Chains A and B, each alone.
Chain A
Amino acid sequence: MNWQVMIDSFPALAEGALITLELVVISGILGVLLAVPMAMARVSPRPWLRALPLAHIYFFRGTPLLVQIYLVYYGLGQFEAVRDSVLWPYLREAYWCAIIAFTLNTSAYTAEILRGAIQSVPRGEVEAAETVGMSPALIWRRIRLPRAFRIALPAYSNEVILMLKGSALASTITLMDLTGVARTIIARTYTPVELFLAAGLLYVVLAFLILGGFRLVERRLNRHLQPG
């Protein structure tokens, strides 16, 4: 085991870890924004509205993330129409392609988590809100969504960890995330075990940080349930 290589590469790996964290946070936020309307549609009483996000959810949960990333990055570049479109300045950057793929992927999983959470909001609370004359939009905003978010939080924290692990695939489309940096250093030092172990350690640290963050939020949200 070559410890010196591990120590020497630490600054570069830490920089990669920042890119990884950035990818996870940005696609996580965009994913939730996309997932909320999909989850709302999924619990709608109207069948056609319920069916609307199904294809998206089915496709992105049923195919490997690696395929999705390649489709967005290399696949879309195949078409001249895409290359001439206004979106191209974004699509030409590997960074945004990764974010688009991760966002679409996580939004499908998050939508299903949120749907479950919305459905488990106690009926009585919604009925109570109706009784005091709240409009449906207000009930969504004040009762159903806030309650659903709280219920969904533990499951969602799992999804974010899965996204952290999936973000390693960004290295396959030229991004210098934590895995990408490790692979590039290995190309010079030929010490795969040392570098991958060091990178793995940083991933575990990132996962702990993320889970710790969620635990803090959870505790804050459930303050009223705690004694004292």
Chain B
Amino acid sequence: MFRQLSAMLIGVLLATPVFAQDTIRIATEGAYPPFNFIDASGEVKGFDVEIANALCEEMDANCELVTQNWDGIIPGLIAGRYDAIIASMSITPERQEAVSFSEPYYSNKLQFIAPGDSDFGPGDAAGSAIGAQRATIAAQWLEENVPDADIRLYDTQENAYLDLESGRLDAVLADVYVSYEWLDSDEGAAYEFKGDPVYNDDKIAVAVRKDDQVLAERFSEAIEAIRADGTYQAINGNYFPFDIY
């Protein structure tokens, strides 16, 4: 019994270390529909995933997609678990100190959503229970601009919506396009955007390790190329009826 177990164990330990070849390993989160999510067949899908595949094809690179929890996604990149992050990551000054970004591949805005029948407005944020995903630009915006709000940070964006639905939250602050998808679903039907976007300059890009400028440059060029040849617009059309670039 113990011999079998240890044999199995040695097998496992020997089999799992994978040595990097000439592949680019790309991390995404898998809990951020419609940009990246996992469906019933266990496959990762979404806008980010299609963009990642298109970029890899353009760069003629062999890519490997892995999923990683959001709050560990930058530490994982720094630790060298993978070489790039294509997971709807916004460019922020703080992140730029830790990683390098390509040129943006889409833009976004931050806007509050709340129940349709509530009179919540962005001005009421202080003193309300507001949800956001941990380690996102929305969480950071809340911490910096309405520190008096009861800020609740979630492991995934989906869990924040679950709690808005259960009534634990007065509002959620999130990227507009992510909220679109949810507001469109059965669960989100009773909720709506409140007020104007509070932050307009949200640029989303591919992140790579800080010293990996070459790779960032390759991604930037590939983004430009798929914009030019219409691949980008086709993918965009699968998700949104307007250009999100």
Q: Do chains A and B touch in the complex (CB under 8 A)?
A: yes
Measuring CB to CB, which residues of chain A are less than 8 angstroms from any residue of chain B? 74, 77-78, 83, 88, 92-94, 172, 174, 183-184, 186-188, 190, 192
With the chains together, A92 CA to B167 CA distance in Å? Answer: 8
> Once bound together, how far apart are the Cα atoms of A43 and B182, in whole Å?
52
Return the contact of A187 from the options B134, B152, B165, B167 (Cβ within 8 A): B134
Contact partner of A174 among B94, B140, B152, CB < 8 A?
A: B152
- Known interface pairs A92-B167, A187-B134; A77-B71 also in contact (CB < 8 Å): no
Chain A residues whose CB sits within 8 angstroms of the CB of B121 once the complex forms:
none
A7–B94 Cα distance when bound, in Å, is 20
Besides the contacts A78-B166, A174-B152, A187-B139, what 14 more A-B pairs have beta carbons closer than 8 Å? A74-B162, A74-B163, A74-B166, A77-B168, A92-B167, A94-B152, A94-B168, A174-B153, A183-B71, A186-B71, A187-B134, A187-B135, A190-B74, A190-B98
Interface residues of B (CB under 8 A from A): 71-72, 74-75, 78, 94, 98, 131, 134-135, 139-140, 152-155, 159, 162-163, 165-168
In the complex, are the beta carbons of B75 and A192 less than 8 A apart? Answer: yes
Q: Is the CB of A188 within 8 A of B167?
A: no
Look across to chain A and name the residue whose beta carbon is closest to the beta carbon of B98.
Answer: A190
Q: List 15 A-B contacts (CB under 8 A).
A: A74-B163, A77-B165, A92-B168, A93-B168, A94-B152, A94-B168, A174-B154, A183-B71, A183-B134, A184-B134, A186-B71, A186-B135, A187-B71, A188-B140, A190-B78
Closest to B165 in A: A77
State how many angstroms separate the Cβ of A3 from the closest Cβ of chain B.
18
Q: Given the complex of chains A and B, what is the CA–CA distance between A184 and B167 in angstroms?
A: 24
The B interface is mostly helix, strand or loop, or mixed, namely helix
Question: Which residues of chain A have C-beta atoms less than 8 A from B153's C-beta?
Answer: 174, 184
Taking A186-B71, A187-B139, A190-B74 as contacts, is the C-beta distance between A77 and B155 under 8 angstroms? no
How far, in angstroms, from A92 to B153 measured CA to CA in the complex?
A: 15
Interface of A is mostly: helix
Contact partners of B134 in chain A: CB under 8 A: 183-184, 187
* B168: chain A residues within 8 A (beta carbon): 77, 92-94
Q: A89 vs B23: C-alpha distance in the bound complex, in angstroms?
A: 52
B163 touches A188 (CB 8 A): no
Name the A residues within 8 Å of B166 (CB-CB). Answer: 74, 77-78, 83, 92
A-B pairs, top 8 by smallest CB distance, nearest first, are A77-B166, A187-B135, A174-B152, A92-B168, A192-B75, A190-B98, A190-B74, A187-B71
Closest chain A residue, CB of each to CB of B154: A174
A129 to B159, CA, bound (A): 56
Q: How far is the CA of A9 from the CA of B160 in the complex (A)?
A: 26
Contact of A190 among B75, B152, B155, B162 (CB under 8 A): B75
The chain A residue with its CB closest to the CB of B135 is: A187
Contacts of B140 in A (CB 8 A): 188
Identify the closest chain A residue to B139 (Cβ): A187
| Residue in B72, B75, B139, B167 whose beta carbon sits within 8 Å of that of A83 in the complex | B167
Q: Name the A residues within 8 Å of B154 (CB-CB).
A: 174
List chain A residues, Cβ under 8 A from B139. 187
Tell whether, in the assembled complex, residue A172 and residue B163 are in contact, meaning their CB atoms are under 8 Å apart. Answer: no
Take A77-B165, A77-B166, A83-B167 as given contacts and tell me if A186 and B75 are in contact as well, using a CB distance cutoff of 8 Å: yes
